[in-house]
Amino acid sequence: MVRQIGGEPGELETVALLLELGVAPEAMRRARERGRLEDAIFDAVLDPDRQRRTVSPREIEARGGTPAAELAVVIQAAGLPAPELDEPYFTEEEAQIFFELARLREVWPPELALQISRVAGRALARIAQAQVQAFRLYVEPRLREQAGDSVAALPEVHWAFERLLPLAAPYLVSVHRRLFERELTEVAIREAEVRAGGELLPGAARVAILFCDLKDFTAYADTAGEEAAIRAIEHLAQVVTQECGSTGRVVKGLGDGYMLAFPDADDAVRTGLGVIEHRRDEVGPGVHASLHQGVAVAHDGDYFGTVVNVAARILDVARRDELVATSAVAEATSSAFAWKPVGGRFVRGLGEPVQLCRLVGRRPVA
């Protein structure tokens, strides 16, 4: 059996250790076909779930669930190859999803399921890629170094992956629930603002909201690699913390960027400019930033309302090394900073375009 899988001395040693770990020969063959026999340890952890996939699209349809043709389109929309009609593709728990969706067709029609599958597939593909790359870049090398070589490290790599993988799904579910709660809160507060007709809502406070992130970060990560991308994110985190100081607050991270809040617009502009200047000469992507001030509702450590929505949506107007703000910010900070008008921008939920300005620089101290 060993000789059927690999014939080189190094491979024979690897195969022997994999067999000792209980890895099936079929998993080794799949890993070897992908070009890295050691990766069979990942298949070994994934195989029990694969074996639970016993339900085909045809069976789901026959049992009153989503039609097989619709299932194929939904899976393709998520970025995966469509299963064959009789392919045992789903677990029984996964099949229950499509039985329930079939019962809810009047309130959740197929076109909505397709739209969500498309969005979720793109997001989850990036998450999966980041997880695999982080394991390969950080966990595996550390374990190999401790063991002395890659073969001797296989038991520890197997152990680590076996324990980390089950944490992924519950973690993603918990994050999704909280993000869903946040989205509901944001929508509710925007609607309440409209109904209030200018009256302050409970928890409302005047605040300047600053968004800053790494311009064209995804393209940079694709070309420079995950390790370089992580270094850029870590450096941005250090710079944002340093520049924010005691005048503002980092509200939350946004993957490759941050949302910050300040009681004073001058401090917000100063921080945004400082972050841009610190990243300008660094290797990798620069920073762009956007800023708006007004009344926002504070809730569970976050801010909600039109002021946040506007600040976020004007970010893509700013090019690398630029800070774009609303005219309200430019007017409020004109004694300390010089601005150049750049015209209006329509923002969803507002009837009139928002007038924007691009930061030129600090004004000379008199």
Strands 337-345 and 354-362: antiparallel
Q: Which two tokens stand for residue 363?
A: 């004004």
Residue 142 falls within a domain, yes or no? Answer: no
Total tally of structural domains belonging to the chain:
2
212 forms beta bridges with 258, 289
Q: How far apart are CA 315 and CA 106, in angstroms?
A: 38
pLDDT value, residue 366 = 61
Residue 251 falls within a domain, yes or no? Answer: yes
pLDDT value, residue 349 = 67
The Cβ-side half-sphere exposure at 302, using a 13 Å CA radius, reads: 17
Residue 56 falls within a domain, yes or no? Answer: no
Count Cβ neighbours within 10 Å for each residue of 278-302 and write b for 16 or more, e otherwise: bbeeeebbbbbbbbbbbebbbbeeb
Residue 68 falls within a domain, yes or no? Answer: no
Q: How far apart are CA 311 and CA 303, in angstroms?
A: 12
CATH number, position 291: 3.30.70.1230
350 forms beta bridges with none
| Contact criterion met (CB below 8 Å) for 57 and 71 | yes
Residue 240 falls within a domain, yes or no? Answer: yes
Residue 65 falls within a domain, yes or no? Answer: no
For the entire predicted model, the pTM comes to 0.68
pLDDT value, residue 200 = 67
pLDDT value, residue 201 = 73
Q: Which residues of the chain have pLDDT under 50?
A: 1-9
Domain containing residue 36? 2-51
The H or E element spanning position 25 is helix 25-34
| Contact criterion met (CB below 8 Å) for 319 and 285 | no
HEC sequence for 233-257: HHHHHHHHHHHHCCCCEEEEECCCE
Q: Which two tokens stand for residue 26?
A: 């079929």
Residue 306 falls within a domain, yes or no? Answer: yes
Q: How far apart are CA 150 and CA 42, in angstroms?
A: 15
| Contact criterion met (CB below 8 Å) for 262 and 271 | yes
Residue 123 falls within a domain, yes or no? Answer: no
Local structure of residue 84 (DSSP, 8 states): P
In the chain, alpha helices (H)? 2-5, 9-20, 25-34, 40-51, 57-62, 68-77, 92-103, 110-134, 140-147, 154-196, 217-224, 226-244, 265-280, 306-313, 327-332
